[in-house]
A and B are shown apart, each in its own frame.
Chain A
């Protein structure tokens, strides 16, 4: 809001400065008018792309924004007085004022309607900005013919400049997509090595010294350097408690990393992975760094992939599972929040074989303590016996999970060798909570209150 009113204020004052400056233009008015037109085209047309690119890179972004606004304002402010003076000898003063100002105001009305309703939604901000620049440049070029008699010399040079500018802006208009991804690059610490937009999300893979990272809609999903801590913690406790896990269900987890841990176990006969986005599971299957990291899990004949919304899928299937790994993204939207409700957990119960174990990723008990305990209590409200646990994943911070079953169970004393993170000590340490992560009073998350999404938004707001 402050920014909005400052921008308007600065723009209006710049118009005044421009108008005042116009008195210093004494000769060659027509030529200067066209030059000004071209400068407005250049500044205005490139403003949005420049700001987009700068947003992620430049420290003093607001300063750049205000300077740009001021500069555009000054040149636009010059335009109208110059135009009025050009018409001075052709029309009476009252006609000039009436016509110029009428067209000016009607023009701004048209622009202010076109801008939000038609142009920005259809073309995007960058292209709209380029289009306005383009229009100014075309008017400038056209004026070289209109005002031809009033311009003494250098007409060709002026025209060439206008044409070069038009070509430049056209290229920008055409290549606007590349600009968007260029500007996105600045948002990530490492180099973007892969980026795609699926109907469901924006998937970005970045690569740095310590390995690579996967981002969905800008949220970090894993870093190859420490994801083993997360995935071993998520998968193995449930697989250890269950004596003989043969049929395993993974909900979410389209990166295939939880599946890698599951498939280590030779007793597993079938794994069903339900992930909404075929773009994500395809990428995990075919993109070499990712496929290597998940040990080519998707090529394993035991694996079946289902690209559906888990909420509707789970109401339709009749299969039962020995172990279920619930690895949904954090509940940062209502569409995700429904997958953490008593309703969803009730439907999940119906898919469990006798003695089945469930592990759920539950966001951070440290950064989002209320959200974490809300998930735990919601599982309990749905009839599960729950053992909360947590561990440190450096890329994420302290991360929380829930181990759940429909009957009482004990955490096994020993972890088989061969894992990078989990051993007997690490397993048992995970089930202990420090004072600042302990239980808090929470509401149960239901479809008709979505308490969790609201907790989550509140809590993460403090850290962003």
Chain B
């Protein structure tokens, strides 16, 4: 490995743990050769030039008239395009820098199977999430409605059983909460926790809204609920005397998995939202998970298909300004090395908050609430291509969709072939590693301090603890470094006083992004995209039956 400035031992000790480093680096042993692979990553160069004040100006003949321009081809932007199309407004352009659409929901594929590069599931929606129900209906994912009008997801799109297993001290166990070896007190605390979340599930405010709804805008903003945001999840557990190590690991896993952070760093509102928002319907059970081999890449592919030719990729928007009743959107065409301009009636900014703040002229000038206070977390995602399945030692629970290592700082891996129903032969494992540093910037620096080889080594060394034969089976390891993976719902950041206002349009500029919700979820991106598109549809005089709320 080209490990400068790392030695293998330092690398593994830094990103995994000293014992793993020691076991992997027995003195004298040559480091095993790495499988090939590449570093895949969002283009940072143009973004960082923009941060440093890059504002090219299009020539006079470089302008196009377009009624609506959507900036950003992540889930929020694609959802806005989908809603505009559904609403009968089909003349728009969607501008995206990356060649691949979908942002952190994007996917890749091999000869064997498609696999995710980020977000990889959604809980089956309750009927209240009208936008998501409509989308899944359109995709043919729903097969009807149950007796209470709730959407019924077709069997093949629900996560196939067995769903999850955990690796603890040399063995795989079924489920995510480790019951093997749990004491009576552990189990009692687990029950206490569940009872507390059930109370929040049943809670309704004066207007009959749930404490935690999906989308969040359908839930309550009552002070009793939003007060939770001032606590960390660790504080909340501590206040209830919930000290069981297993329970704390379980709850922390949720915080790391959905929010990329530890118990002390994540808002109790966000922590409880994770456990409560996906419980509902008439059985009060957690909603089953809907997933595809390529994760939410399947949803992206559908939305991108709807947007079709109107997507213009390779365009980095550098400026959005107001000229009278016209919005001017200036973009830098990376391939042509030239600026192009769009004159439109309205623009939808489906960009992360730190970018929105820099792109939109009125916001630069201090109009409306500031948006750049949202802290951002970094993630590494590795896709490991295997020529065969790791050997299962007797007494271990077999491979599941989600495979979690209790003693690892990573989140473990998901198996792409789980949903294709192939139980043998080659597969792709997607390994997730959130950088949970206290300070977001430190996490980003640590992410970038290691390259393809180093991250591939971390992933292999980590998973080899559970699968000693993994290295021999792995034929390729590709690495994605997400410097700005998701908003980090730190205590006090989810419900700022101007939360509502940040989503409101500034003149003819509309805003759509999960950052407005402060938690990075497909449902939230979809909601904001649909809401912003509906604002535009209504402004254009069309009658809109809202899917947003």
Residue in B161, B422, B468 whose CB lies within 8 Å of A312: B422
**In the complex the two chains form, is A338's CB within 8 Å of B421's CB?**
yes
> B152-160, B349-357, B536-544: which lies at the A interface?
B152-160
Q: Determine the residue in chain A with the shortest Cβ distance to B162.
A: A334
Contacts of A200 in B (CB 8 A): 424
Min CB–CB distance B526 → chain A (angstroms): 23
Q: Determine the residue in chain A with the shortest Cβ distance to B156.
A: A343
**In the complex the two chains form, is A117's CB within 8 Å of B468's CB?**
yes
Contacts of A464 in B (CB 8 A): none
**In the complex the two chains form, is B23's CB within 8 Å of A117's CB?**
yes
Chain A interface main SS type:
helix
| A245-260 contact mask (Cβ, 8 Å, vs B): 1 or 0 | 0000000000000000
**In the complex the two chains form, is A447's CB within 8 Å of B155's CB?**
yes
**In the complex the two chains form, is B469's CB within 8 Å of A448's CB?**
no
Whole-angstrom distance between the alpha carbons of A377 and B398 in the complex?
Answer: 27
**In the complex the two chains form, is B468's CB within 8 Å of A447's CB?**
no
Q: How large is the interface on A (under 10, 10 to 19, 20 to 34, 35 or more residues)?
A: 20 to 34
Is B420's CB within 8 Å of the partner chain A?
Answer: yes
Whole-angstrom distance between the alpha carbons of A342 and B158 in the complex?
Answer: 13
Contacts of B423 in A (CB 8 A): 309, 334-335, 338
Q: Determine the residue in chain A with the shortest Cβ distance to B161.
A: A450
Contacts of A301 in B (CB 8 A): none
Whole-angstrom distance between the alpha carbons of A312 and B391 in the complex?
Answer: 22
Is B88's CB within 8 Å of the partner chain A?
Answer: no
Chain B interface main SS type:
loop
Number of A-B pairs whose CB atoms are under 8 Å? 54
**In the complex the two chains form, is A448's CB within 8 Å of B155's CB?**
yes
Is B280's CB within 8 Å of the partner chain A?
Answer: no
| A340-377, CB < 8 A from B | 341-343, 346
Contacts of B393 in A (CB 8 A): 121
Contacts of A447 in B (CB 8 A): 155-156, 158, 160-161, 421
Is A207's CB within 8 Å of the partner chain B?
Answer: no
Q: Determine the residue in chain B with the shortest Cβ distance to A446.
A: B155
| A438-452 contact mask (Cβ, 8 Å, vs B): 1 or 0 | 000000001111100
Is A333's CB within 8 Å of the partner chain B?
Answer: yes
| A122-138, CB < 8 A from B | 122
Min CB–CB distance B141 → chain A (angstroms): 13
**In the complex the two chains form, is A309's CB within 8 Å of B398's CB?**
no
Min CB–CB distance B487 → chain A (angstroms): 31
Contacts of A343 in B (CB 8 A): 155-156
**In the complex the two chains form, is B159's CB within 8 Å of A448's CB?**
yes
Contacts of B158 in A (CB 8 A): 446-448
**In the complex the two chains form, is A448's CB within 8 Å of B420's CB?**
no
Whole-angstrom distance between the alpha carbons of A449 and B160 in the complex?
Answer: 7
Contacts of A335 in B (CB 8 A): 423-424
| A305-341, CB < 8 A from B | 309, 311-312, 333-335, 338, 341
Contacts of B422 in A (CB 8 A): 309, 312
Is A426's CB within 8 Å of the partner chain B?
Answer: no
Whole-angstrom distance between the alpha carbons of A448 and B162 in the complex?
Answer: 8
Is A116's CB within 8 Å of the partner chain B?
Answer: yes
Whole-angstrom distance between the alpha carbons of A118 and B23 in the complex?
Answer: 10
Contacts of A338 in B (CB 8 A): 160, 421, 423
Contacts of B149 in A (CB 8 A): none
Contacts of A417 in B (CB 8 A): none
Residue in B161, B288, B422, B469 with the greatest tally of chain A CB atoms within 10 Å: B161
Min CB–CB distance A343 → chain B (angstroms): 5
Q: List 23 A-B contacts (CB under 8 A).
A: A113-B23, A116-B170, A118-B468, A121-B469, A309-B421, A309-B422, A312-B421, A333-B398, A334-B162, A335-B423, A335-B424, A338-B421, A342-B155, A343-B155, A343-B156, A446-B161, A447-B156, A447-B158, A447-B160, A448-B155, A448-B160, A448-B161, A449-B161
